Structure 1
Amino acid sequence: MDGERDDVLHAVSSAVLAVTRHLSVREVLQVIVRSAQRLLDARYAALGVPDDEGAFAEFVAEGISEQEWEAIGPAPRQHGLLGAMLREGVPVRLPDIRRDPRFDSWPRAHPVLKDFLGVPIRDGDRVLGIVFLSNKRTPGGFTEADQRLLTMFAAHAAIALTNARLYERSRELALVEERTRMARELHDAVTQKLFSLRLTAQAAASLVTRDPGRALGELERVERLAGEALAELRAVIVELRPAELDRHGLAETLRKHVRLLDRLHPASFSFEEGEVCALGPETEAAVLRIAQEALHNASRHAAAEAVAVRLGCEEGRLVMEVHDDGTGFDTAAVSGHGLGIASMGDRAQALGGSVRVVSEPGRGTLVRLEVPTG
């Protein structure tokens, strides 16, 4: 039993550390699922968090590729065996899930599951979600000892998930306070500029016929005030952190953006996520902006058939790559401001990182971002 307890504590430590590293709730769910999959050597693992409308607010899985998920379709609803587990809140261990009377059919592209082990993740009497494993790689299926192990793991996972939610809510409250402060600053600074701009324009209009020289001076002041107001607006916009990042984290936000581009453009857009990387809120926002700039270039200028995005960690550094098979260009012939290269470089440099653009005519383009995670 001591050995089992040590295995559980080792597996759950990564989920707990994920919370302390300020990852989103969804990323904590992914860490929990991966830990459970490794702990009991299962081919498939999943975790579902129910909503109040008969579906799942969050559903993450391991062992299924992005392409397979696309073919399977929407996340399951709270019916069949999963619904029964949510209602009853007790562990379920089966030699063959397909023979259970509560089993419902799968979508055509769904992998075939056989042996099954699922346990609730509970906070007191409340079921926060269910974690389940299928197709144990070791012959013989899941054992009673496996069930004890996963139940113990789920108890620790409940703490990690609850803490992640509390942290995310506190971060959202802080974000609301920060946006309220920025709105006040925007109102005070930009409104004053725009008011001055309007008065100056009116003065210029009244002087055009009787004093063209003074009117020209007032128009120059209009131009200056407009530039200052624009600078104020840009400063505020740069500071705003996209709301999607607070709800889903960097990886899922970028995945959804790539999926949207895949639907909107004739080129094929794909997303690959490696090891989960812990980043601060400002770094996440900057990385997302750089990725969006690179994807904008690929979708508008590359004439590519395929665009691939990769996100992961390598030796303590976040690495994000956007690669397309399009027309490419001569990097030596493009100025630093071309294709937003300077903007991407400035954002990366502010984070202590770098952006490298590799391209040749006819050979596509690679944008590689590296940012320290510490």
Structure 2
Amino acid sequence: MPERTPEPPPAGACDAPARDAVLHAVSSAVLAVTRHLSVREVLQVIVRSASRLLDARYAALGVPDDQGAFAEFVAEGISEEQWEAIGPTPRQHGMLGAMLRDGDPVRLADIRRDPRFEWWPRAHPVLKDFLGVPIRDGDQVLGIIFLSNKRTPGGFTAADEDLLTMFAAHAAIAITNARLYERGRELTVIEERTRMAHELHDAVSQKLFSLRLTAQAAASLLKTDPGRAAREIDQVQRLAGEALAELRAVIVELRPAELDRHGLVETLRKHVHLLDRLHPVSARFAFDGDPSAARVDVTAEVTVLRVAQEALHNAVRHAEAAHVDVRLSRRDGALVLEVGDDGKGFDPDADPVKGLGLASMRDRAENARGSLEVVSAPGAGTTVRLVVPA
């Protein structure tokens, strides 16, 4: 099990030596968990610890990408419902953009009065006193960490700024270590997939070769020796079953790497938010429950992800939908995925609709011992509902 970060008392309740001791304990815990957690989980530990350390109601940490947005953005003090209402991850504008460009600490009594402040989404909590510092690795800014709305009266102090700057230095080490750990895992996955590709070539190719020869023998014996031909056909069925089992085993192992890094819930969330940013359709994701409770066997995770991706592709490319809602929940020992859109819909009982991948989705559900239901009608949108036993 990952080590839990100790929860330090608020910094306002400590003198300087005590706060230094708290910082040492927290940074040691952060460095320890990087051996076990993903980068995102390490970021969450850092934000939670900083919020507790400086007694801030809100805290956030953003890691920039190369497209003017944030590759990772985690926050403390904001519920899942608030995140859904706020919308997509912020871009590098306003104060966040200025901090990334300048790379300097910022401490303000009221961020709203600073000329670098621009705007917030309607559902965003109101921030007042503000403290932000860059997280540096040498000259490179890995990200920014900022706190707001200090619970202790008087706002953030110069001592708080020094403390958060020290904390950010330790956070940089934690983030770098976590990234190296994930890259090592990725290299291991690549090596394993290369090995499995060779195994697939050796094992399945031999079975398919035997299958072809046996089928040819059965065809040649149909007229002269029907009994022996029937036995050869039985052999064909057996070899085909073995080849199919080999292929399924390899496909399960070749599951998307992001499932290993982020888990099913976070992978789906990222995919939906990416579609929301890249397409005119408004895409939203919601998960009912603890993300760790959504972990199921490998086949089921891949099935849920692929069915969700196929359903989302249909909504974006074919349905002419304005809104798409993706819901994942845990009910009665099963994982339930629902992808609903308000598009033009279709008649599921009519002739098979080409290009929608319905047969593929049903096959995936059956292979995972689950069920798939598609509810749609012309002009009434479409809902895809997958139930996978957990």
TM-score, normalising length from structure 2?
A: 0.69
Q: How does 1:278-357 map to 2 (within 5 A)?
A: 286=297, 289=300, 309=329
TM-superposition CA deviations, 1:106-157 (whole Å, max 9, x none): 1111111111000000001110000001111112111111111111110000
Contact 2:131-2:161 within 8 A present in 1 as well: yes
Secondary structure, in 3 states, of the residue corresponding to 2:136? strand
Secondary structure, in 3 states, of the residue corresponding to 1:103? coil
Contact 1:250-1:288 within 8 A present in 2 as well: no
**For the residues of structure 2 that align with 1:87 and 1:290, how far apart are their CA atoms?**
40
Paired residue type of 2:300: R
Deviation at 1:242, TM superposition (A): 2.8
**For the residues of structure 2 that align with 1:180 and 1:79, how far apart are their CA atoms?**
42
Q: Say which is worse superposed, 32-41 or 230-239, in terms of deviation.
A: 230-239
Determine the structure 2 residue equivalent to 1:357: none
Aligned residue among 101, 123, 126 for 1:109: 123
Q: Say which is worse superposed, 152-161 or 81-90, in terms of deviation.
A: 81-90
Secondary structure, in 3 states, of the residue corresponding to 1:20? coil
Contact 1:27-1:249 within 8 A present in 2 as well: no
Q: How does 1:89-238 map to 2 (within 5 A)?
A: 89-238=103-252
Is 2:260 the partner of 1:271?
Answer: no
Contact 1:55-1:77 within 8 A present in 2 as well: yes
**For the residues of structure 1 that align with 2:85 and 2:204, how far apart are their CA atoms?**
49
TM-superposition CA deviations, 1:170-208 (whole Å, max 9, x none): 110110000000011011100111111112112212221
Give the 3 Å change call, closer, same or farther, for CA 292–62 of structure 1 in structure 2: farther
**For the residues of structure 2 that align with 1:50 and 1:308, how far apart are their CA atoms?**
28
Determine the structure 2 residue equivalent to 1:69: 83
Paired residue type of 1:155: A
Paired residue type of 2:188: A
Determine the structure 2 residue equivalent to 1:244: 258
**For the residues of structure 1 that align with 2:165 and 2:219, how far apart are their CA atoms?**
77
Contact 1:45-1:62 within 8 A present in 2 as well: yes
**For the residues of structure 2 that align with 1:234 and 1:220, how far apart are their CA atoms?**
21
Q: In angstroms, what is the RMSD of aligned CA positions?
A: 4.0
Deviation at 1:28, TM superposition (A): 0.9
**For the residues of structure 2 that align with 1:124 and 1:210, how far apart are their CA atoms?**
81
Determine the structure 1 residue equivalent to 2:322: none
Is 2:60 the partner of 1:49?
Answer: no
Is 2:43 the partner of 1:4?
Answer: no
Contact 1:172-1:246 within 8 A present in 2 as well: no
Determine the structure 2 residue equivalent to 1:86: 100
Deviation at 1:368, TM superposition (A): 10
Aligned residue among 12, 16, 33 for 2:31: 16
Give the 3 Å change call, closer, same or farther, for CA 151–69 of structure 1 in structure 2: same
Deviation at 1:252, TM superposition (A): 1.7
Give the 3 Å change call, closer, same or farther, for CA 13–285 of structure 1 in structure 2: farther
Which ranges in structure 2 are unaligned for 5 or more consecutive residues?
1-15, 275-280, 308-325, 338-364, 371-386
TM-superposition CA deviations, 1:195-244 (whole Å, max 9, x none): 11112112212221222112111101101101111121222233334311
Contact 2:145-2:168 within 8 A present in 1 as well: yes
Give the 3 Å change call, closer, same or farther, for CA 238–308 of structure 1 in structure 2: closer
Determine the structure 2 residue equivalent to 1:355: none
Contact 2:256-2:302 within 8 A present in 1 as well: no
Secondary structure, in 3 states, of the residue corresponding to 2:267? helix
Is 2:54 the partner of 1:40?
Answer: yes
Deviation at 1:14, TM superposition (A): 3.1
Which ranges in structure 1 are unaligned for 5 or more consecutive residues?
278-282, 297-305, 311-319, 325-338, 345-365, 370-374
Give the 3 Å change call, closer, same or farther, for CA 139–89 of structure 1 in structure 2: same
**For the residues of structure 1 that align with 2:65 and 2:89, how far apart are their CA atoms?**
12
Secondary structure, in 3 states, of the residue corresponding to 2:24? helix
Contact 1:24-1:246 within 8 A present in 2 as well: no
**For the residues of structure 2 that align with 1:69 and 1:16, how far apart are their CA atoms?**
28
Contact 1:241-1:285 within 8 A present in 2 as well: no
Secondary structure, in 3 states, of the residue corresponding to 1:54? coil
**For the residues of structure 2 that align with 1:104 and 1:46, how far apart are their CA atoms?**
18
**For the residues of structure 1 that align with 2:113 and 2:170, how far apart are their CA atoms?**
31
TM-score, normalising length from structure 1?
A: 0.72
- Aligned-pair identity (%): 70
**For the residues of structure 2 that align with 1:55 and 1:33, how far apart are their CA atoms?**
19
Aligned residues: 313
Give the 3 Å change call, closer, same or farther, for CA 107–92 of structure 1 in structure 2: same
